[in-house]
Amino acid sequence: MASTRWAVVGAGIIGAAVAREILMRHDSADVTVFDKEDHPAAHQTGHNSGVVHAGLYYEPGSLKARLCRRGVSLLLDFADEHDVAVDECGKVVVATDEVEVERLAAIHERAQANGVPGLAMLDRDGLRGIEPHAEGVAALHSPHTAIIDYPGLTEALIADVRSRGGRIRLSTPVKDIRRKGRTGGGDAALVRTPVDAQEFDAVIVCAGLHSDRLAARSGEGRNPTIVPFFGQYFILEPGYDDIVNGLIYPVPDPKYPFLGVHVTRRIDGGLMIGPNAFLSLSREGYSGLGFNLPDAMSVAGNLGFWRFAAANMATAARELPGVVSIDRFVDAAAHYVPKLAGAGGRRATRGIRAQAMNRDGTLVDDFVIDRAGATMFVRNAPSPGATSALAIAEHLVETIEAEA
């Protein structure tokens, strides 16, 4: 490939994986990673539940489904090679009534189409054989769903990039990326920061919560726009650590755009419940009131958000009690793990999801990748984005190579 100077914007797990992928494929490549924070994995990568998703829910044939399954394999291999903590603890999706049993059967069918290994449909006794304290009439067991240390894995990716000669420019925000024509034809890209401007043969932007803003500043379309939703986590007291063996999820209700509270083991051995999902008035408000005036004004001026809000009042009504009351939050988990009723603990740092939204108020479900000259923008990488990171990196680099 002619391109030898590459830039990657974003040092979360996807950006780190992209930089490593380039260097693995091209020994002579010159790769620079830019990030506005002073450490990698500062945002979504460092504020999620740590789950390595198996691919149960995604539309068969979608980019999500394909990259998730490939991503699991790559992720676990890398973790094993670099001593990153992983626990293949398994997961059950629990149905508590007959309506949910029908939905569970559809999830099972979809997961089989996606090639998820080891699946089993369980009755009440089978569920208790896996999770003695779970309550449900049926469940889908995914034994290979895992948990992992995503920040630790990202640090290992960054270390690999450095060892292969890549440069990591932390505390260096990117103002914009401009197309630059070349003598003799073809495009280059000019990456501008507050302190300098550098020309690159190819740029891959993995800007997460700020993906829409950086694209717009670079002369590209504003849509899909990012609307941030926060998710609260509640870490239970150590006495509850052995209540569950793995992960326990509810059956998704198609009336709601988000999954609902679930019970998750932590890679440090603890147990947590969450997340819920509620509008965030800051893209980076991980604690306190979480209010940022420009971010709040951006949401208020987004017509797509108001269309979404009008269509999802029931979702807000479901999620609000858990936002204002820890007791209600715990009660939601106790619906299918009764021994958690009344559990104590502490709030963890919340996560913030970079949810891409269309003008009509619909949520963008699949990965979205746009190309503009020598620059590729990852516009939407929702869950299972972290699980799929190494496969996303393969896909992005292969796409640029094929189009070169």
Angle in degrees, CA 103, 105, 110, rounded to 5: 95
- 246/384 same-domain check: no
Residue 124 belongs to some domain of the structure: no
Q: Which of the four pLDDT bands, split at 50, 70 and 90, describes residue 192?
A: very high
Residue 387's CATH number = 3.50.50.60
Residue 120 belongs to a domain:
no
Instruction: Answer yes or no: do 188 and 44 share one domain.
Output: yes
Tell me the per-residue pLDDT of 308-318, one tens digit each, with 9 for 90 and over.
999 998 888 88
Band the pLDDT of 3: cuts 50, 70, 90. Answer: low
Q: Per DSSP, what are the bridge partners of residue 167?
A: 32
pLDDT of residue 184: 67
In a domain, 280, yes or no: yes
Domain identity same for 358 and 326: yes
- Residue type at 394? E
**What percentage of residues in the chain have a pLDDT greater than 90?**
85
On whether both 232 and 204 belong to a single domain, the answer is no
| Secondary structure class of 353 (helix, strand, coil) | strand
85 and 174 share one domain: yes
Both structure tokens of 272: 């947590």
Alpha carbons 33 and 182: distance in angstroms, whole number: 23
Which CATH number do you get for residue 268? 3.30.9
Give this prediction's pTM: 0.95
Find the angle CA(264)-CA(270)-CA(275) to the nearest 5 degrees: 35
The reply to whether 311 falls in a domain is yes
Q: Is residue 138 part of a domain?
A: no
pLDDT of residue 285: 93
Q: How many domains does the chain have?
A: 2
Assigned token pair, 150? 């995503």
Q: Do residues 278 and 323 both lie within one domain? A: yes
Alpha helices in 114-174 (DSSP H): 124-130, 150-163
Helix, strand and coil percent figures for the chain, each rounded to 5: 35, 25, 40
Residues 81, 9 share a domain: yes
Residue 335 Cα to chain centre, angstroms: 26
Question: Is 141 contained in some domain?
Answer: no
H-type alpha helices, 252-374: 293-300, 303-311, 313-324, 326-334
Is there a domain that residue 109 lies in? no
d(CA 286, CA 350): 5
Beta bridge partners of 189: 179, 200
Domain span at residue 196 reads 1-89+146-222+364-404
Give pLDDT, residue 255.
Answer: 80
pLDDT tens digits, one per residue of 31-52: 999 999 999 999 999 999 999 9
Give the pLDDT confidence of 265-308 residue by residue, as tens digits. Answer: 999 999 999 888 889 999 999 987 789 999 999 999 999 999 99
In terms of domains, do 216 and 230 share one?
no
Residue 358 shares a structural domain with residue 369:
no
* Same structural domain, 278 and 299: yes
Q: Name the band, by pLDDT with cuts 50, 70 and 90, for residue 197.
A: very high
Query: Which whole number is the average pLDDT over 132-138?
Result: 97
Tell me: pLDDT of 2 over 70: no
User: Looking at the domain assignment, is residue 123 inside a domain?
Assistant: no
Closest CA to 376 of 165, 160, 161, 220: 220
pLDDT of residue 402: 87
In the predicted model, is pLDDT for residue 201 greater than 60? yes
Is the per-residue pLDDT at 1 higher than 70? Answer: no
